[in-house]
Amino acid sequence: MNKEEFYKLLESRKSIRRYKEMPVQREILDRILSAAMQAPSGKNRQNWRFFIAQGKKRDEYLQYSQKSWQGIKDVLKKRLKPSLYEFTERFFYTLGGAPVVIFCYSQNSSEERYHTSIGSVYMAVENLNLACLVEGLGCCTMGAPLEIKEEVDRFLGVTEREDYKKGELELLCAVVLGYPDHEPPKAPRQIEDRIHWLE
């Protein structure tokens, strides 16, 4: 990949909220997760933990996705035009038909600053987003599961892990993914007050 291809790849990344009824093969998911884990991490702790829901488990999660919508719908109603609001609501009720949901956790530690730990996981999530593009997949990173974090933790069974019991395991986001079934426009990037040069 040359420089031009790399920057085009970054510019082409967008959130996908409607997917084809096609499964994603395990070897592709393995490559995507491997790419995620190539990210840098504080003190090289590699503190990301991924829990992947497919099939029946993914279907069972829909009720939680629908519940998480209740926590953010009022904010989105103020920000989105009605047609986009309705589309987004449908997405939460169906996950756009995405066959895979990856729940991304941080294993925090007193040996590392909190924000460094969670930042390490989000860098891995961005790698995952870009790997989806390369594989011809779409994805959407969602913070909504945090609205009902403890319920999601119990649903995934992470509450039985020792690191969770010690208060070290924290849900940060979920990524839904699959083969795109629409080509949404990308929101323009805002530059005002974003970059400040110091000399």
CA 7 to chain centre: 21
pLDDT of residue 31: 98
What domains lie within the chain, and their CATH numbers? Answer: 12-178 (3.40.109.10)
Please give the average per-residue pLDDT across 10-24, as a whole number: 96
Please give the average per-residue pLDDT across 3-31, as a whole number: 96
Angstrom distance (rounded) from CA 9 to CA 133: 8
106-142: pLDDT as tens digits: 999 999 999 999 999 999 999 999 999 999 999 999 9
Please give the average per-residue pLDDT across 42-56, as a whole number: 98
Angstrom distance (rounded) from CA 91 to CA 84: 10
Q: Are 178 and 20 in contact (CB under 8 A)?
A: yes
Please give the average per-residue pLDDT across 83-107, as a whole number: 96
Question: Which of 161, 21, 40, 45 lies closest to 103, judged by CA?
Answer: 161
In this predicted structure, the answer to whether residue 99 has a pLDDT above a threshold of 90 is yes
Residue 1: which pLDDT band, with cuts at 50, 70 and 90? confident
In this predicted structure, the answer to whether residue 77 has a pLDDT above a threshold of 90 is yes
Residue 91: which pLDDT band, with cuts at 50, 70 and 90? very high
Residue 72: which pLDDT band, with cuts at 50, 70 and 90? very high
Please give the average per-residue pLDDT across 130-157, as a whole number: 97
182-191: pLDDT as tens digits: 999 998 999 9
pLDDT of residue 73: 94
Angstrom distance (rounded) from CA 114 to CA 117: 5
In this predicted structure, the answer to whether residue 171 has a pLDDT above a threshold of 90 is yes
